[in-house]
Each structure stands twice: as C-alpha cells, then as structure tokens.
Amino acid sequence: MSAPNLVTQDNLYEELVEVSSYLYKKALTDLPQDVRSAISTAREKEAGIGRKFLDIMVKSIDVSDETGIILCQDTGICIFFVRWGGRFPLKVRGDLVVDSLRRGIALATDIYDLRSSIVHPISRKNTQDNLGERIPDVHFEFDDSDEFEVRLLPKGSGSENMSFLKMLSPADGINAVKKFIVESVFEAGPRPCPPTIVGVGMGGTADLCMSLAKKAVLRPVGSQNPDLEVAQLEEEMLAAVNSLEIGPQGLGGRTTSFALHIEYAATHISMNPVAVNIQCWRGERASAKISNDGAVRYGY
C-alpha cells in the first residue's frame, strides 16, 4: 500500500485511515536515522559480546530494509499523539479522527499480517485486529499552527512493562529524582532490550507525568530539552545510567542507553512526581504532518 500524499476535506477521514495504516508499518520497519546513528556510535565504543549484539542489531535493520519484514515480532500497543493546529483550514471532528486511526491500525494488521497483541485485561480475549477498549491510546494537543500532525509510538511489552512512577515529596529534593531514575533503569536491567531510550517525566499529576515520559521517548536520540537546567540533567542522568554498564541486551558494556530525554510540567507545591518510561533499542516511531494545502509529509 502506497502512502497517501494529499488529503482534502472530501477524503480526509478515509485518507487518515491510510495514513494511520502506513505509519504503523513504517514504525515497525523503518528505524529513524538518529537511532541508526546511535547504534553505529555505540558499536565504536563496545567490544566483545556487547559489540556482537550491536552487530546483530545492524544485521536485523539491513534485513528489514531489504525485505520489509518487521524488526520485532512484538507489534506493540499503539499510542498516538495528534497535534491539531488552530489555523488548520480543513474542518476536523476529533471523534472521526479517532475512528480513522483505529481503522488504520486494523487495516495494517490485516494487510501486513501483523501479530495482534491487544487483549481484554480480564478475559484476555484477542480480537486479532490490535484494537480494544480505549486502544489505540490517542492524545490530542492543540497549538496555533496551520498543520495537523499524527505521531505514532508503538510500545512493545518488554519496554512498556518497564514503566515506573513515584510521587516524591518536594523535601526529597533533586537527588531523590536522580536516584529514582537510576534505580528504575537498574531494575529494568535487560528486560527492555537495551541499549534503550529512557523517557523521564517530571511534574504535573501522576497521569500527566507518565504521559510526559512517553512523549520524551518520541524525541530524536540526542536532542536536548530547550530548558537549560533540564538539558543539563538529561546529560548527567545519561552518564549515570550508562555507568551501570548493563550494556547491549543486558550482557555488559558501556552503552546501556542511547539517550535519556526529560519532559516536564509545573506541579503542585506539595508534590514532585517523576516517571520513567523506557523504549527498546529500536526506538520505533513514525509521523505524518499534513500542511494547510493538504500535502502529507512523512517522518519520524
């Protein structure tokens, strides 16, 4: 299936189905260049078994590029971040956007023969379409741009299971935040398939804090938060988690994480939430940005 390159008011929702379907396959097969570069950089630092596993990762990417086969059998649980510009000229209904994104995930699951990973939390029934109650998880954000952007983050269970939240007291101070981040990565160990991308959320409420941690893993590897204090903390914490020497696939080495990104929100005077959400070595993500003339540009 080719990717739609233009949407209009008449075909908006049907084209969003195609966009969503394409993004799902793209995220599972086309690794962002920043992740590829991070793997190459890590290979230069590692030796022995750590280097061997990074070589295997490179081979997996090459095979996926050549064949279109997904990089991992785990097709993940789909999380969408939709940015809706107030000056976007097409009329958009949020409920129909969600419906289109859902149909796109089901379409991709069918035509690309993807494993369905989504089940009911009690019966464990699997409808075989990667859909379920409130899944995919869709977040809407609004700004004053003239664009409409859809970003997809498929989270495999190995990495999503390694999610941590702690409601710290302001009296605990920044050292407690640092300790919690390092302890979370240490507890995760080899389970999220390192080298990882560590997303950290700070502030807000419990649910907002974890959502911010997920947004953090969507950032390109090596990007810095525009807030200088936060950027400095990112750098310090990346060095700290790499000093754990968990290494590629948890077998030791200098590269436990490719990146550590932090997103934050203001919070209540008497609380200090911090969340850690970890993404596996593949750093899977994909995006589509629709400009005011209906042109669709794909990226990560």
Whether 156 has a pLDDT exceeding 90, the answer reads yes
Largest CA distance in the chain: 57
pLDDT band at 157 (very low <50, low <70, confident <90, very high): very high
pLDDT band at 159 (very low <50, low <70, confident <90, very high): very high
Q: Rounded to whole angstroms, what are the CA distances from 153 to 46, 71, 87, 91, 181? A: 28, 15, 25, 25, 22
| Nearest by Cα to 27 from 39, 16, 19, 15 | 19
pLDDT score at 169: 95
pLDDT score at 1: 67
Mean pLDDT of 151-179: 97
Dihedral sign for Cα 206, 211, 214, 216, please: negative
Burial environment of residue 87 by CB neighbours within 10 A (0 to 12, 13 to 18, 19 or more): exposed
Q: Rounded to whole angstroms, what are the CA distances from 212 to 26, 101, 222? A: 23, 21, 17
E strands of 234-271, at which residues?
257-267
Burial environment of residue 65 by CB neighbours within 10 A (0 to 12, 13 to 18, 19 or more): middle
DSSP string over 98-163: HHHHHHHHHHHHHHTTPPP--B-TTT--B-SSS-BTTBSEEEEEEESSS-EEEEEEEEPHHHHTSE
Single-letter residue type at 259: A
Single-letter residue type at 73: Q
Whether 93 has a pLDDT exceeding 80, the answer reads yes
| Nearest by Cα to 297 from 8, 1, 6 | 6
Class of the CATH domain delimited by 12-28+71-156+284-299: alpha beta
Q: What confidence tens digit (pLDDT) does each residue in 94-142 have?
A: 999 999 999 999 999 999 999 999 999 999 999 999 999 999 999 999 9
Q: How far apart are CA 280 and CA 74, in angstroms?
A: 11
**Where do the domains of the chain lie?**
12-28+71-156+284-299, 158-279
Contact (CB, 8 A) for 210 and 201:
yes
Q: What is the percent of the chain with per-residue pLDDT over 70, rounded to a whole number?
A: 100
Q: How far apart are CA 283 and CA 175, in angstroms?
A: 28
Helices 94-111 and 12-29: angle between axes, nearest 10 degrees: 50
This prediction has a pTM of: 0.94
Residues paired with residue 67 on neighbouring β-strands, in sequence order? none
Q: What confidence tens digit (pLDDT) does each residue in 280-297 have?
A: 999 999 999 999 999 999
Tokens read off for 200: 């950290």
Tokens read off for 237: 């914490």
Q: What confidence tens digit (pLDDT) does each residue in 212-260 have?
A: 999 999 999 989 999 999 999 999 999 999 999 999 999 999 999 999 9
Q: What is the percent of the chain with per-residue pLDDT over 90, rounded to a whole number?
A: 96
Residues paired with residue 290 on neighbouring β-strands, in sequence order? 148, 296
Q: What confidence tens digit (pLDDT) does each residue in 187-216 have?
A: 999 999 999 999 999 999 999 999 999 999
Q: Integer distance in angstroms from the first to the last C-alpha of the chain?
A: 19
Whether 271 has a pLDDT exceeding 80, the answer reads yes
